[in-house]
Amino acid sequence: MKARARRARAAGWLVLVAGAAVAAPPAARAQGAPDGAQPAAAGAQGAPAGAQAAPASADAQASRDADAAFARGKELYRLGKLDAAYEAYRTAWSLKQSYDIAANLANTELQRGMKVEAAEHLAFCLRSFPATGNSAQHEQIRAQFRAVRKEVGSIVVQANVDGAEVSFNGTAVGRTPLRHEVFVKPGTIAVEARLAGHEPSRVTLEVPAGETNTANLVLLPPREPPAPPAPLPPRAEAPAPAPREGADAGGPRPDVLIAGGAVAGAGVIAGVVFTVLANANASDAEERRDALARTNADSCPRTGGAPECVELRRAYDARVNFTNAAFFSFVGAGTVGVGTLLYGLMTRPSSTQQARVRLTPLVGPSNVGLAVSGTL
């Protein structure tokens, strides 16, 4: 423990206020201190700008409490009680931010392995060190800062709006604008800024030891919901075509019925004609076959043979062809006739006009047909 105390006394920059000044009342320390130490009030001038001024009595009491905690920390450090000295310095720092408190607090933080915190307090000490301070102490602090700076990284935060809360890996570090670099452990740092009424901004940085990175944060106003689409103009309905003169809008079209009936009738007539021709050729074939039988002629071959055989085959072929033609004519006439009939039945006429079309199927022993009669 005695060796540790000797090392503490050997660091002349550590104790910026001599022991005699500690024993003196605060008023005496304010007037001056040995070894070029500046009064605590001078360090207070280096506190961050923008701090709200407290009433004079409360500020004076806070300063006295800070001085007492600072003196207690130095005594504990002299006795080798590092952890207790650190807590005392922290208490003094919470009450008053001055360069001498920052320097002694940084020294204990370095010995506790708190390099990021030590870099922060040493940087503050250098920024607020008085111009009339001890130059040797100032250089020692600079050397200490350069050494620890090689082991930590730092980030400079730049934002487009003020008052945004900034956090590093979820831990708040202050609000914009941050006037000084923020020291961090080397590694991946997620920098985020949030402000009510703005979209949050986030960047991720790889911060190596001994280097400074810049986080550019742009907070945009909240996105406005898309405007509803403009209502479409009313669609203009095309006027319905006026019915043709003489046409009945509520019933079947007369021209369709007439055309269907005419086609069906033509099919029936063609079927009748083909049937007559088929019957005539059938009779001719029967007569030729009887004639050949009376002559006791042999049966005719499929091809060639006597002229009578050739004529007989022609008569049979003609009968078959006309019979097929008649069949398809009747089928086509029936199809068109049935379609026309269905059209007339499914398309109801209006109450003011009734369709006057009559379709009558014709069925005979050797033919079929469809009769169309009436007026439209």
274-328 pLDDT, tens digit each? 787 777 777 777 777 777 666 655 566 666 566 767 777 777 777 777 787 777 7
Domain spans in the chain, listed from the N-terminal domain onward: 1-150, 152-222, 254-375
Give me the DSSP letters along 38-102: PPHHHHHTTSPTTPPPPPHHHHHHHHHHHHHHHHHHHHHHHTT-HHHHHHHHHHHHHH---HHHH
Q: What is the pLDDT of residue 282?
A: 75
Q: What is the pLDDT of residue 51?
A: 45
pLDDT band at 127 (very low <50, low <70, confident <90, very high): very high
Question: With 60 as the cut, is the pLDDT of residue 233 above it?
Answer: yes
Sign of the Cα torsion 72, 73, 79, 82 reads positive
Prediction pTM value? 0.47
Q: What is the pLDDT of residue 336?
A: 72
Question: With 90 as the cut, is the pLDDT of residue 340 above it?
Answer: no
Q: Which fold has domain 1-150?
A: 1.25.40
Question: With 60 as the cut, is the pLDDT of residue 43 above it?
Answer: no
Which region among 40-44, 50-54, 353-357, 369-373 has the lowest average model confidence (pLDDT)? 40-44
Q: Which fold has domain 152-222?
A: Immunoglobulin-like (2.60.40)
Question: With 90 as the cut, is the pLDDT of residue 203 above it?
Answer: yes
Structure tokens at 322: 């006309």
Whether 1-150 and 152-222 share one fold: the answer is: no
